[in-house]
Structure 1
Amino acid sequence: MITKDPFVLNIMDRLREILNTELVYPVHIHVEEYGEPERGPCVEDTDLPDELKKILINNGIRYLYSFQWEAYRKIISGRNVVIVAGTGTGKTEAFLLPIFKYIYSRKKSNPEAILVYPTKALSRDQLKRIHNYLGYGLFTASVYDGDTSRKIRERIVNNPPDIIITNPDMINLGLVFSQHIRNFINKSRFFVFDELHVYEGVLGSHVKYVIERIKRFKKNNDYVFIGSSATIGNPKEFAETLFGTEVDVVKGPYRRRGKAVHVAITTGGLSRWSVSAALAKTLAEQGFKFIIFADSQQMAEVAARIISKNYGLEVYVHRAGLPAETRRMVEMKLRDGLINGVVATPTLELGIDIGYLDSVILVSPPPTYAKYLQRSGRAGRRGRVGYIFMILGDDPIDAYYERNPSRFYEQEIPPSYIEPLNEEVLKIHLIALLLQESRIHVRDIQPYWKRVLNSLQYQRLIVQTGSYVYPNYRLARIYFKEYGRIRGTGPLIDILDETTGEIIGNRELPQALLDLHPGAVYYSFGKPYLSTRIDLDEMKAYVKPLPDTVSYYTRPLYTVELVDLYEIRERISDRGIPLTYAHVKLDFIVEGYVVKQYGESEDKGQRKLLNNPITYRFETKAVIVKYPLLFENWGLIEYAEAFHAIEHSIISATRPVCGASIWDMGGISYPNGRIVYYDGVVGGSGLSLLLFNRYEKAEDIAYEILAKCDCEDGCPRCIYSPFCGNNNQILSRLKAFKILYNVLKGEAKHVRKQIEITYSKPIV
């Protein structure tokens, strides 16, 4: 569908003029408008305290929306609730008002509620927002986290406010090390986890067990858990998985009142980064403020450099790994209109106050439609239209959506996911639980904890005496201090500037190997560095500054080998394909890299090999698939070409099917029909479990990718991957299509053999 929006058409004309091509054009434009949410009761007619009614009316709130009133009644009655409503629709009031009512009606030692936000920046931002209610002296609230000064902490401890605002990291550590945090938790009745959709993947696995530790610490049922999210596809299932208890769902509108224009743009074979940069220039000429979202830290840095150098715009980077004060400075400059825009990773998806923006540019389709809604909700000022531009480049999923844009814009919000059996996560939280409680009776240890008991005993971190399990206090505390962080599971590599000795950042393994192998160009807040070496024993990477004139970046070339596995569950797909979900041990080997000039297309670049490849061994989760060998006249090479191409196309399909980003999943293919799809983080993220359950849907999309491409036998729009370890050799779109065509017809249903894994090095 293309709606003839005059402003968008003018923008496109100017964009083509800047790029000097007619090949860049919109494949989809549609307008959506949202009116006022359904009204509930007038504030005067509610049972809120009179003083609180006056505060609401003074803030321009004369009635509640129906979803706010529904949430209010459920929370007041003690129900656990998850509230799903769009950015700017009043979710905060939906959970704050019942908490205020409860606080007002009781005279009890504080705090009464703990509000948990995923980042420290968001905690402080939300404190500013609720100051509208605090300024009248009825209620008090304070932020208590790692950035809170000692003096303010002492004041909070001596005179606790009604509401503590913190993050899950602080609770995780505080339950073990801080009597003050334990006191806050013990006294509080309400636990609010805002931005609930953030707690998926590895972070969600951690938060699930932090919540379990909260519940065990309180030792009674006097608590109410509240979740809040703008975008979540399975709110009841997901919230109940995290909270470990029954939850009621309250649904509000997906978007705030206003108008938004959504545009999908094909690059016509140009680099998505060149098109995004030129679009930023075009919007800046109109006086627009914008955010550009990229899913890779390093590509966000590259995009900002292209925009600044090519067009002279003042554009900053906002991403994880930058110092907190740097991110706050960027937020302030954007909020105050001092810069044209920001290139951000998902760090700015959340509700941090950055003012009102005119436009959002997405350099590629986000991993999930939920993330698209979250990011697009950033666009639009009061009384002005919000414009959302999504760039479709030369890769299989972009080409899929270019052919079928309605499949992107009309899709349902996918479910959120966690992997509760991540053993690295389980180890951390069983150690934490033992340090909290001093000992646990064997009968009280849940089956999932028992999965890691032997490993922890072998590491001498715990001991069992009679019917009780105890922590080895000295070693357990050291272990928890070193590994107890909840933002990931892999070890951290410090990045050192070898000319100054200064640590300029850190990266988690195995991703660190991809960003910091020798020869890699690493960008930090616009400055280019060359990685000279990485030491996996010292957990350090050494870099040196490059001239600011650098106009290229690097992409790693790597292979992965399966070392060992044990099966968790099995099934036969609807098409007769055996699937195994397994815990696997992998060798991750970086063998070289590709040097790419800014603006160069995905299939271009200079390939370089390392003299000494670097190997990192880690354990994660994976799906193992066994395809049949259907054609007697095919030999080893023909099957290798087919299954390698199927591997690439299925990994592409995990983006819309599982919400995987480009780095989240990888694959290994064998010419005997076995393909391994693995989570790219230590211990597993839950994505491979989603793929295990949805493999047929991934096959359908992979089949369409292969069938609809008009190339000869492989190209970037169907089966080529910029990360392929052998530079996209031994690949055949036509042979992969032939295999999947027959599988989808049901030709594989006679295959019933148990999967037997070959441990030798795969051909591809």
Structure 2
Amino acid sequence: MIRDRLLLEVNSELLNMFPRSGASVIYEYSEEVSEPEPGPSIEEVDIPPELKKALSNAGIKRLFKFQYDAFEYIKSGYHTIITAGTGTGKTEAFLLPILADIYSNPSPYPRAILTYPTKALSRDQFNRFQKYLVFGRATAGIYDGDTPPELRKRMRENPPSIVITNPDMIHIGLVRSPAIRQFIERARFLVVDELHVYEGVLGSHLKYIIDRVKARNNRGLIFIGSSATLSNPKAFAESLFGVDVAVVQGPVRRRGVAVHSLVSTGYLSRWTVAAALSAILAKKGLKHIIFVDSQQMAELVARIGKSYGSEVMVHRAGLPAEERRRIEEKLRRGEILAVAATPTLELGIDIGDLDAVVLASPPPSYTKYLQRAGRVGRRGRPGYVFTVLSDDPIDAYYERNPEKYFSQDMPPLVIEPENEEVGKIHLLARLLEEGSIKLSSLNGFWRTVYTRLLEENLAYVKGLHLYPRRKIAFKYLDECGSIRSSGPQVKIVDKVSGETLAYRELPQAVLDLYPGAIYLIQTKPFLSLGLDFEEKTAWVRPLEENITYYTKPLYTVEVGDYTVLDERVSSRGIPLSYASVELALIVEGYIVRDVFSEKAGERIWLDQPLKYSYRTKAVLVKYPTKEGWSLADHAEAFHAIEHTIISAARIVCGAGLTDMGGVSYPSGDIVIYDASPGGSGLSKLLFERFEEAERIAFEIVSRCDCEDGCPRCIYSPYCGNNNQVLSRRKAMYYLGSIIGKTITTLEKPLEKRYGKPIA
């Protein structure tokens, strides 16, 4: 039953906007969180008198217990991970012991390097620090790509006590900047805030950056991580830092009231309902963010919002930094009430008080849900969180079991340490830093990586050492060495004006910018004219703004060479492998869909298919075929099973909607892969938790009451053939026949595959 007054009003307006659509608020969950457990007063803490006065002036008379625990661990020299919800005082928890050290041990060199995942967050936190630095015993400065040259020079000549930067700057600075190298060599503390951001490929990059930092600093750095709530803080921090860490656990949420709700879309699209919710909230004067997990869906939601008379701006990666800052400032000042954002606004950037967040789909993990939900309800006001559930297998699962959404486990965060694409960048960077590396020190994974460098003419062997081809290596790092992209960046250029509009990374660019694709930039539609892999450029031209359709690619995936890295047999006797695989992504055409209803229209085939190949990691599965079933029967069953296991990975592994892909064969071979080149770690987690994913997949296909397949069970919006060759009933029958049984098969995945692959 819905009791909250605002939810009742929102529900009423939804029903008025879309009568008989089924769109409505279906579940309410309220929580009230008290103050964190108190700790000692600042007078009882062993810190310099000047720092006590600074804390008192900032209104801090007493520490929370978790803050004091962190203080004691860090002061004692322990590597430490602090986990607590947004706005609960994590920053003070790690900053206080660092300031105490600086006040007690004056030095002409930086004592601490604080890293944040974005430059905007660095500046936001720098402003926050000022109240603790008023006595001049400690200083702080930002040193990153946006720092003016004159200020950089002053910081090199007279370094601050605390250097605030980002992992990107350390990555490039270790190669190119004597100042960064000096800062790192002299530092005592290295802080990585918002640690939960560094999962997947970005986490693999951070791991190698940390390894390079440790090689540069031989004084014994103390590593500190800070994050929203994690299910595996110790294991995750240790996978990144490579050292044992102490864990300090704070409260999950800030003090205050939060009202969570689940909203059903009925027969409407989730994007339509999310935009409608935004319009209703804006009409009530409520400042809010609409979170989506796709750049183009952020654009689509903002575009639909215009049709409801709502001004929604877009904040996402790929837009110029100054454009993102302008939007943040407008939201902070209340000049706009709504922003459609990818996770770029998930972090703790100060955008003022938010009244609500609208999640256009459930976030990839419950950890991310808590992070996004934690953005609302500050300073004593209730915060509202609307999660939109649509025709989707996992959404349908939670619509049937709404209470499970708010009691679900948080999947562990993971990285793939042996990502060859990432390793190649950092081995090359090490070569440029050190001049050469002994071949005898490069074993196992690193031997594969250095072989790649030789093949691509980025390095050469002389005697017993590996050397960089410096000119080519520097050019490669400049063009392909970003830690932010999971693949090479494609520049999107307006063919009419010649202006560079945005960037998109491969392989996703293949699915977004094939010839004929509609691509949105700040809600403005552009037609893709083609994609040049050699020039890494996509050419587009503007379209009329009133178009009411968008496009989805029709594609297939071919699995080529593969190397098994690990293998096991599931508890049901199903052979599983974790492997490095070569994939060929082939876009053959596209389908036109209506923006509001998502109804499919015309299919258009490309004259020349667009093909892009890359390596990644994958789970390989071998299901035995059924006697008496035809090739078509098997194809329909295994394609449906592939879809539902990918859906189940969202619960089991915390995978986002586009983090994993799959391909199946009528022979019973299924490949579920990391969408990021080199691998993200999600497929490894699925390999380890496959039985649970298979169980949820069976629940999805057995609990749906459709005829033989629908968006609530086996259909996927990212299916390469537009959800053809699928059967819920056959998938249900097949999985039902193996659940609770043990199967014996001698075949290994992909060894005897046959039939056309279905993506």
After TM superposition, the score normalised by the length of structure 1 is 0.97
Matched, 1:754 2:748: yes
Query: Alignment partner of 1:355: what SS?
Result: coil
CA distance in 1, matches of 2:637, 2:525: 39
Deviation at 1:724, TM superposition (A): 2.0
Deviation at 1:214, TM superposition (A): 0.3
Comparing 433-442 with 455-464, greater Cα deviation is found at 455-464
Alignment match, 1:712: 707
Q: 2:221 aligns with which of 195, 220, 223?
A: 223
Q: Is the Cα–Cα contact under 8 Å of residues 557 and 723 in structure 1 kept in the other structure? A: no
Deviation string for 1:306-365 (max 9, x for gaps)?
112x22222210000010010000000000001121110000000011001110100111
Aligned pair in 2 of structure 1 residues 135, 597: CA closer, same or farther (>3 Å)? farther
CA distance in 2, matches of 1:412, 1:354: 30
Comparing 205-214 with 659-668, greater Cα deviation is found at 659-668
Alignment match, 2:179: 180
CA distance in 2, matches of 1:335, 1:756: 54
Query: Alignment partner of 1:225: what SS?
Result: strand
Deviation at 1:549, TM superposition (A): 1.4
CA distance in 2, matches of 1:634, 1:460: 51
Matched, 1:338 2:332: no
Comparing 246-255 with 410-419, greater Cα deviation is found at 410-419
CA distance in 2, matches of 1:255, 1:614: 47
Matched, 1:561 2:558: yes
Aligned pair in 2 of structure 1 residues 427, 604: CA closer, same or farther (>3 Å)? same
CA distance in 2, matches of 1:178, 1:636: 60
CA distance in 2, matches of 1:474, 1:623: 38
Q: Is the Cα–Cα contact under 8 Å of residues 621 and 688 in structure 1 kept in the other structure? A: yes
Alignment match, 1:643: 638
Comparing 660-669 with 58-67, greater Cα deviation is found at 660-669
Aligned pair in 2 of structure 1 residues 538, 463: CA closer, same or farther (>3 Å)? closer
CA distance in 2, matches of 1:606, 1:671: 28
Q: Is the Cα–Cα contact under 8 Å of residues 562 and 759 in structure 1 kept in the other structure? A: no
Alignment match, 1:619: 615
The letter of the residue matching 1:713 is: D
Aligned pair in 2 of structure 1 residues 456, 54: CA closer, same or farther (>3 Å)? same
Alignment match, 1:7: 6
The letter of the residue matching 2:400 is: R
Comparing 524-533 with 358-367, greater Cα deviation is found at 524-533
The letter of the residue matching 1:53 is: K
Deviation at 1:758, TM superposition (A): 5.1
CA distance in 1, matches of 2:755, 2:212: 43
Q: Is the Cα–Cα contact under 8 Å of residues 188 and 219 in structure 2 kept in the other structure? A: no
Deviation string for 1:576-627 (max 9, x for gaps)?
10001111111101112222222114x6343322222111111111111000
The letter of the residue matching 1:627 is: Y
Alignment match, 1:629: 625
Deviation at 1:721, TM superposition (A): 1.7
Matched, 1:504 2:498: no
Deviation at 1:722, TM superposition (A): 2.1
Matched, 1:732 2:727: yes
Unmatched 5+ stretches in structure 1? none
Alignment match, 2:511: 514
Q: 1:396 aligns with which of 393, 396, 403?
A: 393
Q: 1:488 aligns with which of 480, 485, 492?
A: 485
CA distance in 1, matches of 2:557, 2:747: 25
The letter of the residue matching 1:559 is: T
Q: 1:301 aligns with which of 299, 308, 311?
A: 299
Deviation string for 1:643-668 (max 9, x for gaps)?
01101111111111122222211111
Aligned pair in 2 of structure 1 residues 284, 755: CA closer, same or farther (>3 Å)? closer
**Would you say how many aligned residue pairs link Structure 1 and Structure 2?**
758
> Which aligned runs of 4 or more in structure 1 are off by greater than 6 angstroms?
none
Aligned pair in 2 of structure 1 residues 254, 24: CA closer, same or farther (>3 Å)? same
Matched, 1:692 2:687: yes
Aligned pair in 2 of structure 1 residues 482, 7: CA closer, same or farther (>3 Å)? closer
Alignment match, 2:122: 123
Query: Alignment partner of 1:400: what SS?
Result: helix
RMSD: 1.5
Alignment match, 2:16: 17
The letter of the residue matching 1:246 is: D
Comparing 450-459 with 177-186, greater Cα deviation is found at 450-459
Alignment match, 1:667: 662
Identity %: 55
Deviation string for 1:495-522 (max 9, x for gaps)?
1100011111111111001111111111
**1:259-658 equivalences in 2 (<5 Å):** 259-308=257-306, 310-445=307-442, 447-601=444-598, 604-630=600-626, 632-658=627-653
Deviation string for 1:523-567 (max 9, x for gaps)?
111221111111122211110011121222222221101121111
**1:140-159 equivalences in 2 (<5 Å):** 140-159=139-158
Deviation string for 1:164-217 (max 9, x for gaps)?
000101100110111111001011110000000011110100110000000011
The letter of the residue matching 2:484 is: R
Aligned pair in 2 of structure 1 residues 759, 708: CA closer, same or farther (>3 Å)? closer
Deviation string for 1:69-125 (max 9, x for gaps)?
000011011110000000000000000000001001113222110000111111111
The letter of the residue matching 1:154 is: K
Deviation string for 1:409-449 (max 9, x for gaps)?
10122211100000111111111112212223344435432
Q: Is the Cα–Cα contact under 8 Å of residues 3 and 30 in structure 1 kept in the other structure? A: no
Matched, 1:107 2:101: no
The letter of the residue matching 1:273 is: W
Query: Alignment partner of 1:611: what SS?
Result: strand
The letter of the residue matching 1:624 is: L
The letter of the residue matching 1:289 is: K
CA distance in 2, matches of 1:103, 1:661: 42
Alignment match, 1:32: 31
CA distance in 1, matches of 2:323, 2:209: 29
The letter of the residue matching 1:500 is: S
The letter of the residue matching 2:302 is: A
Aligned pair in 2 of structure 1 residues 466, 260: CA closer, same or farther (>3 Å)? same
Query: Alignment partner of 1:432: what SS?
Result: helix
Aligned pair in 2 of structure 1 residues 295, 608: CA closer, same or farther (>3 Å)? same
Q: Is the Cα–Cα contact under 8 Å of residues 667 and 753 in structure 2 kept in the other structure? A: no
Unmatched 5+ stretches in structure 2? none
CA distance in 1, matches of 2:753, 2:225: 44
CA distance in 2, matches of 1:514, 1:756: 26
CA distance in 1, matches of 2:457, 2:520: 41
The letter of the residue matching 2:653 is: C
CA distance in 2, matches of 1:479, 1:328: 29
Q: Is the Cα–Cα contact under 8 Å of residues 298 and 341 in structure 2 kept in the other structure? A: yes
Q: Is the Cα–Cα contact under 8 Å of residues 563 and 759 in structure 1 kept in the other structure? A: no
CA distance in 1, matches of 2:339, 2:154: 37
**1:180-259 equivalences in 2 (<5 Å):** 180-218=179-217, 220-259=218-257
CA distance in 2, matches of 1:133, 1:446: 47
The letter of the residue matching 1:509 is: L
Query: Alignment partner of 1:451: what SS?
Result: helix
Comparing 296-305 with 657-666, greater Cα deviation is found at 657-666
Aligned pair in 2 of structure 1 residues 758, 347: CA closer, same or farther (>3 Å)? farther
The letter of the residue matching 1:616 is: Y
The letter of the residue matching 1:762 is: K
CA distance in 2, matches of 1:760, 1:737: 23
